[in-house]
């Protein structure tokens, strides 16, 4: 029998336009963090940034045809929402094809290596 991991008291915001992706990620990360919130669009994410003050953000690069990309959103979010401590972009494209975004701490390619993403989010929380 495997032992459940101890949850870290942090809020993680997941932003992805696909319901099934948000649900799967939320279920997985709920094993590691005390609160998971999610949004499918930029305006929903901004409301959660204001109301929930998440420390962690996992944002899909492409949020749909009417939405800005993650590299357009993250610089503004990082400047405006000081609660954000760790920010990652996930993409179905090769990470090398995405323009640099210094405000993002990491870019992960799909399918995600969940252990690696979890380690990234917990790295600064371990000490």
The three-class DSSP label of residue 69 is coil
Q: For position 3, what pLDDT does the model report?
A: 65
Residue 73 within a domain: no
Q: For position 127, what pLDDT does the model report?
A: 42
> Do residues 73 and 79 touch, judged by C-beta distance below 8 A?
no
Buried/exposed 37-61: b ≥16 CB within 10 Å, e otherwise: bbbbebeebbebbeeeebbbbbbbb
Q: Distance of alpha carbon 62 from its chain centroid, rounded? A: 13
List the domain range (segments joined by +) for residue 104. Answer: 8-67+81-125
Specify the CATH number for the domain of residue 62: 3.40.50.2300
Q: For position 1, what pLDDT does the model report?
A: 54
Q: For position 101, what pLDDT does the model report?
A: 93
Sort 94 into a burial class: Cβ within 10 Å, 0-12 / 13-18 / 19+.
exposed
| Helices first, then strands: H and E counts in the chain | 4, 5
> What's the predicted TM-score (pTM) here?
0.92
89 backbone dihedrals φ, ψ, rounded to 5°: -105, 140
Q: List Cβ neighbours of 123 (8 Å cut-off, separation of 6 or more).
A: 86
Please give the average pLDDT of every successive group of 10 residues along the chain, which has 127 residues: 74 97 97 96 98 97 95 98 97 81 95 96 71
Measured CA to CA, the distance from residue 13 to residue 2 in angstroms comes to 27
Look at the chain and report how many structural domains it folds into. Answer: 1
């Amino acid at each position: 029998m495997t032992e459940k991991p101890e949850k870290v008291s942090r809020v993680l915001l997941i932003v992805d336009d696909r319901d099934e992706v948000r649900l799967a990620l939320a279920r997985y990360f709920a094993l590691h963090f005390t609160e998971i919130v999610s949004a499918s669009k930029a305006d929903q994410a901004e409301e959660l940034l204001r109301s929930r003050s998440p420390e962690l953000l996992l944002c899909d690069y492409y949020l749909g045809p009417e939405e800005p990309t993650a590299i357009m959103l993250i610089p503004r979010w990082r400047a405006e929402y000081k609660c954000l401590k760790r920010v990652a972009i996930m993409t179905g494209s090769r990470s090398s094809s995405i323009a640099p975004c210094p405000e993002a701490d990491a870019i992960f390619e799909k399918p995600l290596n969940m252990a690696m993403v979890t380690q990234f989010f917990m790295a600064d929380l371990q000490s």
